[in-house]
Structure 1
Amino acid sequence: MTSAIPFPPLPIPSLSTLLMHLKSLRQQDASLQSIDPLLRQLDEYSRHFDHSAHLIYLELSQVSHALSALVAMLDQPNLDTLECEQLYCLLEPFARRLQQTTMQMQELA
């Protein structure tokens, strides 16, 4: 019995790549002019999505760097001098920013 070798999954094209392909197909067929307003709207949505995704990436990157620094700080040998209130003051802003970023991502979905 031979086992089937699975094919690797095909890469999912980006929204901008799909839009570019649709525009190319539209240019090849003048009878599709009725979809031009939809293509323009889709193009605008794509730009808005790309901008929002970039802002979310920047936010998550900042939180990630800050949490890495916090972990490094908590790994110090003098950890016993760090009081709970100080720890809360360090973690609370990160929790708030992650919550805000999560809400922004939900709005995009």
Structure 2
Amino acid sequence: MYNELSGPPIDWIAPDQLTDLVDRWLPVGKGKERCVDALIRLVRALPAEEQATRGLAWLADLCIHDDRVTVDQSWSSNDWLKEIRAAVEEHGTLPEWQTLVDALVVAGNSGLAHFST
């Protein structure tokens, strides 16, 4: 057994090896805050471009179902959306980011109101 407290944590999985499975997992996680946070933990380990493209699309898919917001905020969603703001602009997904943020704010997420248009 390895003592993780004496050094950096061991990466037990390689997030880039799981990305192809996420699309199959999304229907199970829709509308569940804990699943949003689990997705963000995975996506944060990916390169910025992938976070700004696939990660953003996945988050929108988990939070919005049939044009209705089912998760307006999770423990880590606001922080992550703010963290990737520059990356979405750089990688051309700012309109999608803005649409998601605006929808979350309209649904009651006041923590992102400053970023809403």
Q: Flag whether TM exceeds 0.5 (same fold).
A: no
User: Could you say which structure has the higher helix fraction?
Assistant: 1
- TM band (smaller chain): under 0.3
Report the TM-score, using the length of structure 2 for normalisation: 0.25
Q: TM-score, normalised by structure 1?
A: 0.26
RCO higher in structure (CA 8 A, sep ≥6):
1
Of the two, which has the highest radius of gyration? Answer: 1
